[in-house]
Amino acid sequence: MAVSMKMQQRTIATASKQSIAPVARPVARPFSARRPVAAAVRSSEEVARRSSVVVRAAAPAPAAASADKATAAEYYALVCNAEWFFMDPQNESVAEQLREKVRFFKEQNKERDFFIVPNPKWLDAKFPEQAKQVKRPCVALVSTDKMWITFMKLRLDRVLKIDLKSMPASEVLAAGEALPDFKPDGKWTAPYARYTPGWWNVFLPNH
């Protein structure tokens, strides 16, 4: 009797276990670096929105460019004795440097931004103390390119560097007395011909 009851209990327990439905576990998906389509779409829309904001923020750039151009109109000058500048053998490469600069500007379709000003009127009028240090006749190499003027100051050495920031171009380029005809001094020993006196005339403001 007891044995039959135990067998019935085991039969009931086995039936109960079979009646319980197994719990479905989520299927593990293989790892992928791809983002879901919806996330990719949202990301593209976000990038497009940010790009449009950047474009709108950069719109005032033309005004900034105009301001930079206006600032570039400030002149800088190197002043020295004219005969030393044009005729001293150590400065003979200056002529070639200026010619190369003109050629480069033409190739780039740029307007020339440097001039040679004989006896500049502003020297005595605006800078009397510095004018006392310059032997006459004198000459000024002027340009709106501050870096180039700084380079030429180092190259020439024996010159005065003067900032003409607040001076209009018409006043910067105002020349005084014309330069005399400088004649070569001493015997020329170099294996090449000396530059013809007057080579500087092509760099005058009225040329």
Q: What is the pLDDT of residues 31-55, one digit of tens each?
A: 555 555 555 555 556 655 655 544 4
Between CA 60 and CA 76 the distance in angstroms is 30
Q: Dump pLDDT digits (tens) for 79-88.
A: 999 999 998 8
For residues 163 and 155, give the distance between their C-alpha atoms in angstroms, rounded to a whole number. Answer: 18
Distances (CA, A) of 174 to 6, 77, 207: 126, 13, 13
- The model carries a pTM of 0.65
Q: Is 52 helix (H, G, I), strand (E, B) or coil?
A: helix
What CATH number was assigned to the domain covering residues 94-178?
A: 3.30.70.1860
Q: Which residue has the higher pLDDT, 115 or 93?
A: 115
User: In 3D, which of 102, 125, 105, 107 has the Cα closest to residue 172?
Assistant: 125
pLDDT tens per residue, range 150-166: 999 999 989 999 999 88
Instruction: Give the confidence band of 185 by pLDDT, cuts at 50, 70, 90.
Output: confident
The pLDDT of 96-108, averaged and rounded, is 95
Contact 73/146 with Cβ under 8 angstroms? Answer: no
Structure tokens at 90: 């150590």
